[in-house]
Amino acid sequence: MEPEPSSLPALLGAAHLLALVGYFAAVFHLVRLFNAHRHALTKWEPERGALHTRFASMERRALFGLAWPMLLLLLPRVRGCFGCIPVLTTEPFMMVKLGLVALLFGYQLMVHRVQGRLNAADLNWSGVRLWVFGHGSTLLLVALVLSMALRDHLGWIWGSIGLLVLGGVIAYLIASMRKDREPSENA
């Protein structure tokens, strides 16, 4: 049973959305694994070696079996979109979206680098820094969704201001979390 030609764009859109959801699920999972792996590296041997091997295996499967394939599945839809509707390249919201996609690929390369350094037991990031790194993907997800959902209602200036406000809120939460984790001087 062949899909009707008119339903093909809807099917491609659904596949694109599933790939996006799958990618972000993989990245959220990977950053949690990174935090647990970093904590495992503080243990004593032989527990440290066993946990390191196990976490390296789980991270490798999540990175190469889920994150990279899902991210690469997003590319044909983008290419097809520009091939079918070339005028999209002149739309301001599309320039913003392409910039966010470029940031997404940069973020994925950073995830890959962190995974490699953890495999070599050479990552010296703190738990807070990994937590902040994990929220980078949340910020990208919110930015991508809002740039598409509100593309006709808000200009890129308001979108940029909204992202700055969201970044400020995340920075405030990080600062307050750090303050709560620091031991008090009276204790």
Kindly give, in sequence order, each residue whose CB lies less than 8 Å from that of residue 25, ignoring residues fewer than 6 positions away: 66
Question: According to the model, what pLDDT value does residue 61 have?
Answer: 94
String of b and e for 77-90 (b: at least 16 CB within 10 Å)?
beeebeeeeeeeee
> Measured over all CA atoms, what is the biggest interatomic distance in the chain, rounded to whole angstroms?
73
pLDDT tens figures, 147-161: 777 777 766 677 677
- Between helix 92-119 and helix 47-62 the angle, nearest 10°, is 150
110 pLDDT exceeds 90? yes
* Spatial CA neighbour of 133 closest among 112, 167, 110, 115: 110
Question: According to the model, what pLDDT value does residue 166 have?
Answer: 76
Mean pLDDT of 167-177: 77
pLDDT tens figures, 32-78: 999 999 999 888 989 889 998 999 999 999 999 999 999 888 877 77
**Is residue 150 classed exposed, middle or buried when 0-12, 13-18 and 19+ CB atoms within 10 A define those classes?**
middle
Question: According to the model, what pLDDT value does residue 65 have?
Answer: 93
Question: According to the model, what pLDDT value does residue 64 have?
Answer: 94
Question: According to the model, what pLDDT value does residue 60 have?
Answer: 93
Higher pLDDT, 101 or 150: 101
Question: According to the model, what pLDDT value does residue 3 have?
Answer: 58
Decide if 131 contacts 32 (C-beta within 8 A): no
pLDDT tens figures, 2-18: 656 667 777 777 888 88
CA distances from residue 65 to 27, 130, 159 in whole angstroms, order as listed: 12, 22, 33
Q: H helices within the chain, ranges in order?
A: 8-40, 47-62, 68-84, 92-119, 127-149, 156-181
Higher pLDDT, 181 or 96: 96
Share of the chain above pLDDT 70, in %: 84
Separation between Cα atoms, residue 173 and residue 138, nearest integer Å: 14
Question: According to the model, what pLDDT value does residue 154 have?
Answer: 64
